[in-house]
Structure 1
Amino acid sequence: MSTSAARPDQFASASQRFPRHEIDGLAGTSFKHQHLQAILADDAPGGFFEVHAENYMGAGGPPHAALARIREDFPVSLHGVCMSIGGPQPLDKAHLGRFKDLVRRYEPALLSEHLAWSTHETTYYNDLLPLPYTEATVTRVAAHIDEVQQAIGRPLLLENPSTYVTFRESTMSETAFIRELVKRTGCGLLLDINNVFVSATNQNYSALDYLSDFPLDHVGEIHLAGHAQQQDDEGELLLIDSHDGPVSDAVWKLFDTVIGRSGPIPTLIEWDSAIPDWPVLKREAAAAQLILDRHSQASSREKFHASA
């Protein structure tokens, strides 16, 4: 599989502070501070950990001490949530500078942000808001991605959103929009399969069709998460990307399909509220690892028979 994803050995330097850890084909979890001692005491804690960049933009203290301890033994994925790459205004230079400093400080194996916007002038929203898919939006988002990649000196993975509305002015599909961004910027992609399922259910289209049209060759990381079920104002089913429970059976099936097509890709279990004890989160990651390993073994057998 060809991918734009960053790899640790691509960016190693004489000033490297942490050990190199491979991340290919591994399943990981969101890192929560309350799990630190359980992780350190675990004989087989798992593959890698992902953190939200904005939680570590202070200069020091317990959060950095915990992350530095994790980074010694595991690969880390740095996931931004507030860059507002899809916003109409220029990127916040101070925020981008802090993000760049974190990249230098922790040398993450993977870096990602969202195809979304979350700021307007001096207002900062808690939600990751969707975009109209137009030529003007492509141009603006591509310029923002270029600015981020230039600042950090390496590729960024862009995450597909979960959506609850569509825009009349959109002139292209979400997958076509994403392909154009990859073409213009050389960025990689973070495929959030739960977001695909949530959006497909809410917008009444096929998640499998979406994935068939998604540029899997550029995916460097996958996210899996739980979602909540609600009803909209008309009594119809509405899914919310809540990250507060286990991965649903439907999302596991989509994940199995994607890995069967793409081969093993670093995969993260996101669980950001109603956080369970460490063994529960670890079991979710172990379930993802089983699927990754099964397809890796199948791919190896196919290559062996092809060369025999």
Structure 2
Amino acid sequence: MKTNIPPIAVSSAHPLRFPEHPIAGQAGTSFKHEHLAAIMADGKPKGFFEVHAENYMGAGGPPHRALEVIRQDNPVSLHGVCISIGGPQPLDRDHLARFKSLVERYEPALVSEHLAWSTHETTFFNDLLPLPYTEDALARVCAHIDEVQEAIGRSILLENPSTYVTFRESTMSETGFIRSIARRTGCGLLLDVNNVFVSATNHGYSALDYLADFPLEKVGEIHLAGHAEQTDDEGELLLIDSHDGPVADAVWKLFEIVIRKCGPVPTLIEWDSNIPDWPILKAESTAAQSILDRYAGTSSLDQSHAA
């Protein structure tokens, strides 16, 4: 079974603005402006870079100039965080139009969003909030994904969430919900392995069982990140998807299990706060690349990761 992620369309009427760099089998990092000089001074292969779409929705300025420099020599993954695909209200058409403009402007190799919601009426939350896994929610999410894909003219990757609560009204598992979304909309999936570990720990289920039931054949990108340990009101361990440190050993182990099954899926290191110097972030990406290289050509799943 192959993913439904289409390639970037190239035509004489609309030629690519940037070179079409390969992303298959590569590891990458979140792009931080403070790293630009160090990245440009580093002549070694750099993999790919991911940016949050909402940081580039202005018309110009230093953020765009920096991203244009990075995009010239590297593939880019565009990661949305505010479309609110899981929300109960219609999508913000102005926001979606800005998102479409970014896709057209930077021709990203991968485009993704979250299985979450972040708006209510006129209020915008600085969080990716969970939703119940019901038939009504499934229909709404699928309709929103269809709208996004129609607007940008290509498939997106949908990311599994990190969660801290569950809903009594849920009538299906998270993996079943995600599988149904991919089947109905033709979207691909972004598997965040850290989110799997965080949610499994917080809710007391097996991360391995979750991965065994996850539609890995639909995965077009993987995220790895660090998490923070806290305790809840009852003194129980609570993991927070904080993106503020190195990838934990347990997450590396889960990642290698996934890659052994899937082959070298493009893999990103997310590090969004307490940002280290470039060599530290690059070392995390290098560690991911070594695992991808180890399993190159060994995939048992028939899929395509180029987009």
Taking structure 1 as the reference length, what is the TM-score of the superposition? 0.95
- The question of whether the paired residues in 1 share the 8 Å contact of 2:260 and 2:298 is answered with no
3-state DSSP of counterpart to 1:200: helix
Taking the TM superposition and a 5 Å limit, the aligned residue runs for 1:144-163 are 144-163=144-163
Does 2:32 correspond to 1:27?
A: no
Aligned equivalent of 2:83: 83
Give the residue type in structure 1 aligned to 2:179. R
Letter in 2 for 1:203: H
Corresponding residue of 2:37: 37
CA distance in 1, matches of 2:298, 2:249: 22
For 1:306, the equivalent position in structure 2 comes to none
How far apart are the structure 2 equivalents of 1:256 and 1:17?
36
Identify the structure with the greater helix proportion: 1
- State the identity %: 76
- Does the 8 Å contact 1:5/1:218 carry over to 2? no
2:237 — aligned with what?
Answer: 237
CA separation in 2, counterparts of 1:16 and 1:51?
19
Equivalent residue pairs, number: 298
Q: Deviations over 1:91-138 (max 9, x none)?
A: 000000000000000000000000000000000001100010000000
Quote the offset at 1:4 in angstroms. Answer: 2.8
- Mapped partners of 1:281, 1:5: distance in 2: 28
Q: 2:17 maps to which residue?
A: 17
Instruction: Please tell me the residue identity of whatever aligns with 2:3.
Output: T
Instruction: State the secondary structure of the residue aligned to 2:295.
Output: helix
C-alpha contact (below 8 Å) 2:5/2:154 kept by paired residues: no
Residue 80 (structure 2) pairs with residue 92 (structure 1): no
Q: Distance in 1 between matches of 2:224 and 2:6?
A: 20
Deviation per CA, 1:200-234, whole angstroms, max 9, x where unpaired? 00000000000000001010000000000000000
Q: Please tell me whether the aligned partners of residues 75 and 108 of structure 2 are also in contact (alpha carbons under 8 angstroms).
A: yes
> Deviation of residue 13 (structure 1)?
2.9
**Equivalent position amino acid for 1:29 in 2:** T
* Counterpart secondary structure, 1:224: strand
**SS at 1:70's partner residue?**
helix
Structure 2 unaligned runs (5+)?
A: 301-307
1:7 Cα deviation after fit: 3.5
Distance 2:175 2:224 in 1: 19
Partner Cα separation in structure 1 for residue 196 and residue 299 of structure 2:
25
CA contact (8 A) 1:5 1:189 kept: no
SS in structure 1 opposite 2:95?
A: helix
CA distance in 2, matches of 1:184, 1:104: 25
The 8 Å contact of residues 51 and 76 in structure 1, kept in 2 or not, is answered as: yes
Partner SS state of residue 296, structure 1: coil
Q: Secondary structure at the match of 2:22?
A: coil
- Kept in 1, the 8 Å contact 2:85–2:117? The answer is yes
Please, what is the CA RMSD of the aligned residues? 1.2
- Written as runs of structure 1 = structure 2, the 5 A alignment for 1:1-308 is 2-8=2-8, 11-14=9-12, 15-296=15-296, 298=298
Displacement after TM superposition at 1:183 (Å): 0.9
Q: Distance in 2 between matches of 1:265 and 1:189?
A: 11
Q: Aligned letter for 1:12? A: V
| Structure 1 residue 43 displacement after superposition | 1.3
- Deviations along 1:32-60, one digit per CA (max 9) or x if unpaired, are 00000100110115210000000000000
Q: Is the 1:28–1:267 contact (alpha carbons within 8 Å) kept by the matching residues of 2? A: yes
User: Which stretches in structure 1 are left out of the alignment for 5+ residues?
Assistant: 301-308
Residue pair 1:6, 1:110 contacting (<8 A) in 2 also: no
Task: Tell me which amino acid in the other structure corresponds to 2:278.
Answer: W
- Residue type matched to 2:25 in 1? G
